[in-house]
Structure 1
Amino acid sequence: MIGNRIKRARKAAGMSLRALADEVGVSHTSLNKFEHGTLTPSSAQLIMLGRALGVRTEYLLRPERTEVELEEVEYRKHPKTPRKLLDRITATVLDQAERWMELLDLYPTPPIKQMVVPSSVSPSITRYEQLEEVADGLRLEWGLGENPIPDLIDTLESRGLLVIPVEVPEGVRFDGLAGQVGERHIIVVSKSIPGDRQRLTLAHELAHRLLAGHIAENLNEETACTRLAGALLLPRQAVCDHLGNHRNALEWRELYLLKHEFGVSMAAALFRAEQSGVITESLKKRLFREFYTRGWGMKEPGDPVNPEHSLLFEHLVYRALSEDFIGQSKAAELLGISASQFQENRSLTEIGVDATAHQ
């Protein structure tokens, strides 16, 4: 175990056996034995190895596979979602989380950062209106401006959240959940829902991670998370820029265009119009009555927003393979595909293969 980690860290550092041996002050033969597991380095040698390779000693001592637990779980689901289905989804998530942890352990230094709660999140949220400022501050700190977020999954992963898409049986309402595995924050989202609902789910679960312990008792946490999610996806200033500062009427086509520009539902865009002060609450209620009369509560008109996919896990598997941290069989195992399928994907003999098929 220690030998494999020394070898991986050495290769990641671009050092030869002899160069590392000279740096640590051991013989080339001894270092070779360390890497092959026939000789165990002393505590002092481990410290020297860690310093020379730029990794923590804990990395060299960490078990190859660590059993994981899903903690601090927050579900975003329909009230009638069967408990058995939730248990199955949790088991699937744990399996993927274990593979995530194993994959991250391959790297001498973490290939992705840890999520940090931005300073724009107030320590005490006592009014729902404060969440507009939180969203604006979050966009500012993350360099998102006021433009649409083209790939929310990529944005979250770049900030240290692990996103795990899962298959959900047709007809079953489950949108997603947020949780924690060790020090890593994860968001689980259904592959089976439209892109606008998927994006709202991702933003909602992010809000749970960010607002934990910050919401006053007089506020409803779900309402607060939904408000922050909407403000993040469709900022107040963008609403005013597109619709104007005050309107006495709205065209449905305006909401449809906002849907496809910002990746939110027409219903969410209508909520944001009222929350941004563009329309009154009474106009919002009147428009929603018409909205549901038209049957759009079940299915909105026009083309749906395409769902998003995560490619980070697969990318890091192939990076580990290229860095010689793992072989082909381990790479296939981590991706959950056969050796033959992996070889075809790797060699691009199936050019049309969906890059997201194994997520």
Structure 2
Amino acid sequence: MMFYGPRIRQARELREFTQGKLAKAVGVSQALIASIETELRLPSEALLAKIAQALTLPIAYFSEPQSLEIPPSSLLFRARASISNRAVTEASRVAEHVLALATSLAKHVDIPVHVHPLHCDPTEAARRIRELLRVPPLEPIPALIRSLERLGIWVLALPVLKDRDAFCMWIEIDGRSIPTIAVCMDQPGDRLRLSVAHELGHLLLHKDKLGRIRSDLEKEAFAFGAELLMPEAAMRKELLPPVTLTTVSQLKPRWLVSMQALIRRGHDLRIVTERQYHYLFQRLSAAGWRKEEPNPIAIERPMLIRKMAEVAYGTPLDYRSLAAACHMLPQEAERLLSFYAAPKAATSGVTSKVVSFPRKRVNA
């Protein structure tokens, strides 16, 4: 059978195996694994079967070239500057795995993209997106992820990845550019919304600069996210001085952002003075709310990718056929899709239309 060595490296990093750990698991030397990954040596069928078993992937996974590679250097994680290179590499491999599933599903459906890079300041960009979403300037966006999915943005739900929030990229599929946001689902609902809004800012404002670590780009993405989720006009109407913890605790469930985000937004807009700002954060710390605020916001899970799977493989999902097409085991396909909401599900307190799109015509 055809064999591609770089796929072993990709799978090994996906499973967080070093070359030494994989070599020990299959009973060979590290040098042999290194030679196989660089295709200086070919594995026997028996050894390839052991490698597939150790990495819990079907042998077919190694029979096709890597269709998509996300360079670890292209990933930027919000507020996570201390992430190790190994952790970033793992995240890129997980994203590639989830993207492989998504791109396989995209062969069966047409998903139009309604957003494009914007060449304006972050505040104006956020206002344009709110207009595109048909959200009034004085109202919150109740279902942010659903709304972005209806614009054709892929929101990938990643398994738990410690200390990582979200990253974004434009991917090319059949000559089309797909805006994609990958989010780790082990974060509070309010932080998840800010992470998604922040990455959307990068997607729209910095398409040709993604992967560059620059403070000015991060500042613009934060400004975009703040205006998108907490528009200045609304904040000046509702976040009235003197701002107190009671004030922000009452606004939190309406705007679906953290108390801390509201305080920072008030400070940025000069509604909250420097002295008030520090005092409010001291109060938050004293109450133990810097790490865990009261009245948590429900987590909104993406839906689009699961809907694509149901269009392609029916309801209930035929995981065996889906997994075979994506070169993964059925139980893994089921696990990856478990992070998505079922199309009829809704986040508590949030209502929205189900994303819909036509099935592609397949010639007989």
Q: Would the TM-score normalized by the shorter structure come out above 0.5?
A: yes
Pairwise CA distance, 1:303: 2.3
**Residue in 1 that maps onto 2:305:** 313
Instruction: For 1:205 and 1:314, locate their aligned partners in 2 and report how far apart those are by CA, in whole Å.
Output: 21
Decide whether aligned partners of structure 1 residues 332 and 84 sit closer, same or farther in structure 2, where only a CA change above 3 A counts. same
CA deviation digits over 1:95-131, x for unaligned, max 9? 1111111111223xx234263135xx41xx4xxxxx3
Alignment of 1:243-322 (within 5 A): 243-244=239-240, 247=241, 249-300=242-293, 302-321=294-313
For residue 270 of structure 1, what is the amino acid of its counterpart?
I
Instruction: For 1:69 and 1:196, locate their aligned partners in 2 and report how far apart those are by CA, in whole Å.
Output: 30
Instruction: For 1:212 and 1:269, locate their aligned partners in 2 and report how far apart those are by CA, in whole Å.
Output: 25
How many positions carry a matched residue from both structures? 264
Instruction: For 1:227 and 1:205, locate their aligned partners in 2 and report how far apart those are by CA, in whole Å.
Output: 11
TM-score (norm 2): 0.63
Instruction: For 1:104 and 1:288, locate their aligned partners in 2 and report how far apart those are by CA, in whole Å.
Output: 46
Alignment of 1:82-231 (within 5 A): 82-107=84-109, 110-113=110-113, 115-118=115-118, 121-122=119-120, 125=121, 131-146=122-137, 147-169=139-161, 172-182=162-172, 183-212=177-206, 220-231=216-227
Pairwise CA distance, 1:81: 2.6
Report if the CA contact (8 A) 1:114-1:184 is conserved. Answer: no
Instruction: For 2:208 and 2:178, locate their aligned partners in 1 and report how far apart those are by CA, in whole Å.
Output: 20
Report if the CA contact (8 A) 1:207-1:229 is conserved. Answer: yes
> Per the alignment, in what secondary structure is the counterpart of residue 174 of structure 1?
coil
For residue 241 of structure 1, what is the amino acid of its counterpart?
K
Report if the CA contact (8 A) 1:115-1:184 is conserved. Answer: no
Decide whether aligned partners of structure 1 residues 158 and 65 sit closer, same or farther in structure 2, where only a CA change above 3 A counts. farther
Decide whether aligned partners of structure 1 residues 95 and 240 sit closer, same or farther in structure 2, where only a CA change above 3 A counts. same
Report if the CA contact (8 A) 1:66-1:102 is conserved. Answer: no
For residue 317 of structure 1, what is the amino acid of its counterpart?
A
Instruction: For 1:277 and 1:181, locate their aligned partners in 2 and report how far apart those are by CA, in whole Å.
Output: 39
**Residue in 2 that maps onto 1:240:** 236
RMSD: 3.6
In our comparison, the structure showing a higher alpha carbon Rg is: 1
> Per the alignment, in what secondary structure is the counterpart of residue 184 of structure 1?
strand
Report if the CA contact (8 A) 1:135-1:232 is conserved. Answer: yes
Report if the CA contact (8 A) 1:77-1:173 is conserved. Answer: no
Identity %: 23
Report if the CA contact (8 A) 1:74-1:208 is conserved. Answer: no
Decide whether aligned partners of structure 1 residues 66 and 106 sit closer, same or farther in structure 2, where only a CA change above 3 A counts. farther
Instruction: For 1:269 and 1:278, locate their aligned partners in 2 and report how far apart those are by CA, in whole Å.
Output: 11
TM-score (norm 1): 0.64
**Residue in 2 that maps onto 1:14:** none
> Per the alignment, in what secondary structure is the counterpart of residue 76 of structure 2?
strand
CA deviation digits over 1:56-76, x for unaligned, max 9? xxxxxxxx9981122643332
Pairwise CA distance, 1:218: 10
Name the stretch that deviates more: 92-101 or 285-294: 285-294
